Structure 1
Amino acid sequence: MQARHTLTASERSRLLPFVVASGEISPRDQRDLMERPFFSLSKTKRTTPILYAAGDTRVEVFGMPEHGMATIWDADVLIWAASQIVEAENLGLTTSRFLRFTPYQLLTGIGRQTGARDYGLLRAALARLQSTVVATTIRNGQNWRRQQFSWITEWEICASRNGRAAGVEIVIPEWLYRGVIDRSLVLAIDPAYFRLTGGIERWLYRVARKHAGRQRTGWTFEIGHLHQKSGSLMRPSDFAIQIRRAAACQPLPGYRLSIERAGVRELLRILPTDLSTYPVDNYVNGIGTSHASTIGTSHAGLSGLHTHKPQLSLWPETAIPALNLSNLDSNSYVDGKPRSADNPSCPSIAPFKGPGDGP
Structure 2
Amino acid sequence: MGDNTNQDDRSPLLPDRYPQQDFFVCDIFDAAPKGDMASMEHPIFSVSTKPDFTKRAYEHGNAILRVSPSPNGLATVHDRDVLIYCISQIMAALNKGQKVSQVVRFKAYDLLVATNRGTDGRGYEQLKAAFKRLQGTQIETNIITGGQAQWDVFSLVDRA
TM-score strictly above 0.5: yes
Query: Is 1:130 matched up with 2:135?
Result: yes
1:120 deviation in Å? 1.1
What's 1:144 paired with?
Answer: 149
Which secondary structure state, in structure 1, belongs to the residue aligned with residue 48 of structure 2? coil
Code of the aligned partner of 2:73: G
User: Which structure 2 residues correspond to residues 270-289 of structure 1 after superposition, within 5 A?
Assistant: none
Question: Please, what is the CA RMSD of the aligned residues?
Answer: 2.6
Residue 87 of structure 1: CA displacement? 1.5
Given the alignment of the two structures, is residue 38 of structure 1 paired with residue 48 of structure 2, yes or no?
A: no
Query: Is the Cα contact below 8 Å between 1:135 and 1:147 reproduced in 2?
Result: yes
Paired residues of 2:46 and 2:75 also in contact (CA < 8 A): yes
Mapping of residues 287-326 of structure 1, within 5 Å: none
- Larger helix proportion, structure 1 or 2? 2
| Matched residue, 2:23 | 25
Cα distance change, pair 48–81 in 1 and its aligned pair in 2 (3 A): same
Any conservation in 2 of the 1:27–1:80 contact (CA below 8 Å)?
Answer: no
User: Which residue of 1 is the match for residue 67 of structure 2?
Assistant: 61
Alpha-carbon contact 1:136-1:148 (below 8 Å) kept: yes
* Structure 1 pair 109–138 and aligned structure 2 pair: CA distance change class (3 A): farther
Preserved contact between residue 40 and residue 69 of structure 1 (Cα < 8 Å): yes
Deviation at 1:81, TM superposition (A): 0.6
1:101-157 Cα offsets, whole Å, 9 max, x none, are 1111111222222122111111111111111111234573543323211111111xx
- Deviation at residue 33 of structure 1 after TM alignment: 6.5
**Partner of residue 93 from structure 1, selected from 95, 98, 101:** 98
Q: What is the CA-CA distance between 1:34 and the residue it aligns to?
A: 3.8
| Superposed structure 1 runs of 4+ greater than 6 Å apart | none
1:86–1:55 distance in 2 versus 1, CA, 3 Å: farther
Distance 1:40 1:141 in 2: 32
Query: Which deviates more, 69-78 or 25-34?
Result: 25-34
Kept in 1: contact 2:46–2:77 (CA 8 A): yes
- Compare relative contact order (CA 8 Å, sep 6+) and give the higher one, 1 or 2: 1
Identity %: 33
Aligned residues: 132
Q: Give, in whole Å, the separation in 1 of the partners of 2:112 and 2:36.
A: 23
Structure number with larger C-alpha Rg: 1
What's 1:290 paired with? none
Report the TM-score, using the length of structure 1 for normalisation: 0.33
Structure 2 runs not aligned, ≥5 long: 1-20
- Where structure 1 has 5 or more consecutive residues not aligned to the other structure, the ranges are 1-22, 156-359
* Paired position in structure 1 for 2:88: 83
Q: TM-score when scaled to structure 2?
A: 0.70
The C-alpha deviation readout for 1:34-56, integer Å capped at 9, x for no partner, is 43311112112122211012345
